[in-house]
Amino acid sequence: MLKKYVCMFFIVMVLPVNLYADMVDNMISELNSSSSFKSRLQAAIFLGKMQDKRAVDVLIANLKDEDYAIKGACAIALGNIGDPKATRPLIELLRDSEALVRKEAVKALVKLSSNKQTMDDLVNTFKNTDDSMLKMGIIAIFGELKDDNALKALAEGLSDKGKVSDTTSQIIMGMSSENKFKVLSAALTSKDENTRINAMELAGTIRDPRLVQPILVILKDSSSQEEIKTAKNTLKKMKDKINVDEYLRTARFGNSKDERDIAIQVLSVIADERCIGLLMDLLKDEDVFIRGRSAQALATVGDKRAIPQLEKMLKDKKNERIFPIIKSSIKLLTLNK
């Protein structure tokens, strides 16, 4: 194999320019019109090795050949030549019925992706198509890339349900730790709820501590019960990655209600004795809002030791604003007996 490439390189280096040009022209003609499958296949391979842009048009035309091997060889050649003109035809090849052809199209587009035009075409096609096969092919390309824009576009694959989303998840799980983080960070800040939910589920498997903060932002800002539930379940899976001491301090001494509220929710997820102990203390906090949130947190934890203190709170008029919260917390804890 090495000898073959050395010989090819030698031919290119020593042949006169006009003779080299004639060889390329002959191979173009061979690919276009030869009746021999073997000759056409060798011509496609040769043209890819020569990387002569004069061959681009004929290689693109032969992506529609009836033989899958010819299509695959032409895709490889176009990837080697690197002309972005081949981007759209190669994208269309991602729909081919033959897996081998689709695989070679993916490889070729990965090579072409260093070109901005190619990257823009891939991202725009991904955003604007409903074709699941096309989406899966582009997702496979994104999975091979290092470009940050491509990684963000990959995150959008998590917005779909079923086959496409599953494929996206598999690709993300196979990526480097840094690329997993980049993709999921983008997905967790997406405007699409389904994308955020799917990203949180993956984050619970990956367990990168850097993803805790964006999940906490979702927990703070979301009004969706499904999303809040997913956020809490994910944080439970990642609780050994959470700095509990920091949230204990924030829950007691935070600068704002929002800060303290998030910390209280985190403590309800961790739910060890220190967390439960502080939540019980916060039932006596000066701020009625914090008292109410602590009652809800203890109900979520399901610690029945809170019931007597909650019942006592119902006798104090300063808790009148949060009586409904206290009552519902007691009811929930009683049902869990």
Query: Does any domain span residue 184?
Result: yes
Residue 10: partners with Cβ closer than 8 Å, 6 or more residues away:
none
CATH number of the domain within which 320 lies: 1.25.10.10
| 6: its two tokens | 């050395």
Query: Does any domain span residue 124?
Result: no
| 286: its two tokens | 């000066």
Question: How many distinct structural domains can be found in the chain?
Answer: 3
Of the chain, the end-to-end C-alpha distance in Å amounts to 74
Same domain, yes or no: 267 and 220: no
Same domain, yes or no: 180 and 220: yes
Same domain, yes or no: 319 and 248: yes
Query: Does any domain span residue 178?
Result: yes
Residue 139: closest CA among 191, 101, 175, 97: 175
Query: Does any domain span residue 122?
Result: no
3-state SS, one letter per residue, for 72-112: HHHHHHHHHHCCHHHHHHHHHHCCCCCHHHHHHHHHHHHHH
Same domain, yes or no: 98 and 57: yes
Same domain, yes or no: 224 and 291: no
Same domain, yes or no: 229 and 248: no
Q: Containing domain of residue 212, as a range? A: 146-240
Please give the share of the chain, as a percent, with pLDDT higher than 70.
92
| 48: its two tokens | 């890819």
Query: Does any domain span residue 98?
Result: yes
| Structure-token match 């983008």, residue found | 186
Return d(Cα 146, Cα 199) in angstroms, integer: 19
- Band of pLDDT at residue 126, cut at 50, 70 and 90: confident
* Residue 1 predicted with pLDDT over 60: no
Return d(Cα 97, Cα 147) in angstroms, integer: 29
The listed range with the strongest mean pLDDT (110-119, 168-177, 267-276) is 267-276
pLDDT digits 0-9 by tens, 189-202? 999 999 999 999 99
pLDDT digits 0-9 by tens, 277-286? 999 999 999 9
Could you please report the per-residue DSSP string of 197-239? Answer: HHHHHHHHHH--GGGHHHHHHHHHH---HHHHHHHHHHHHHTG
pTM: 0.69
Domain boundary, last residue among 240, 273, 296: 240
Return d(Cα 28, Cα 37) in angstroms, integer: 14
Return d(Cα 323, Cα 333) in angstroms, integer: 15
Same domain, yes or no: 102 and 4: yes
The burial class, CB within 10 Å (0-12 / 13-18 / 19+), for 135 is buried
* Residue 11 predicted with pLDDT over 50: no
Same domain, yes or no: 189 and 214: yes
pLDDT digits 0-9 by tens, 86-111? 999 999 999 999 999 999 999 999 99
Return d(Cα 6, Cα 8) in angstroms, integer: 5
For residue 267, the surrounding DSSP H or E stretch is helix 257-270
Query: Does any domain span residue 139?
Result: no
Query: Does any domain span residue 7?
Result: yes
The whole-angstrom distance between residue 30's C-alpha and the CA centroid of its chain comes to 44
3-state SS, one letter per residue, for 293-307: HHHHHHHHHCCHHHH
| For residues 144-156, average pLDDT | 79
* Residue 7 predicted with pLDDT over 50: no
